A and B are shown apart, each in its own frame.
Chain A
Amino acid sequence: QVQLVQSGAEVKKPGASVRLSCKASGYTSTSYYVNWVRQAPGQGLEWMGMINPSGGITRYPRMIQGRVTITRDTSTSTVYMELSNLRSEDAAVYYCAKSQMISGYFDFWGQGTLVTVSS
């Protein structure tokens, strides 16, 4: 069955960087986009960007572009998201989710990774 398994919780200081992983299984990982979505405590969902695991092409929202980098390792079917220069407002649960299209729906989600930013 389709699974997206994410790495464990992280605690980082302001100004640091964090790198999260999302390992896909149960489907052809190069055939679908992998997106990152975050949810701050008690808040809504925010799209953080996506990657086409086949060609490695990425897209990021303008508001966070420059601080976020999404990469992939096709040999392990793993997608990574690195967020730099962390601020308190980056504290959130980060989810990876797969989609068939750039403008498509997210049909499977990872379990989420909690990122805490604290000095």
Chain B
Amino acid sequence: QSVLTQPPSVSGAPGQRVTISCDGSSSNIGAGYDVHWYHQVPGTAPKLLMYGDNYRPSGVPDRFSGSKSGTSASLAITGLQAEDEGDYFCQSYDTSLSGSVFGGGTKLSVL
């Protein structure tokens, strides 16, 4: 059971917009800790997609955006492309556990 809760799967047609939620608690997201997002293609290592709630590393297109409110965060992807398929994980820090925590992951399918 992951500390952060994500929907198991989301899907959308090419060009559409999808969002992935990440629900935490008062000891992690709600405590003000940053939320980060990773994209993982099966068989490869996760890759940083978003950091500090809504900052994109160099090379990540502006089709990706992040937001945070209260104990939840979300990742939005606009203009869906086939290359966006894969698993998406959120990450934060938990003060009760004194360490990083992840969401269970969300599988994105581009129909």
Contacts and interface: CB of A to CB of B under 8 A. Distances in A.
Interface of A: 35, 37, 43-47, 49-50, 59-62, 95, 102-112
Contact of B91 (A49, A59, A95, A106): A106
A59 B57 CA distance: 26
Contact of B46 (A95, A102, A103): A95
A105 B90 CA distance: 10
Interface residues of B: mostly helix, strand, loop or mixed? strand
Given A44-B105, A45-B105, A103 B45 contact: no
Contacts of B52: 105
Given A103-B93, A105-B48, A111-B45, A35 B102 contact: no
Interface string B78-94: 00000000000101010
A108 B89 CA distance: 15
Q: Which 5 A-B pairs have the closest CB atoms?
A: A103-B93, A105-B36, A109-B45, A105-B51, A47-B100
B21 to A, nearest CB: 15
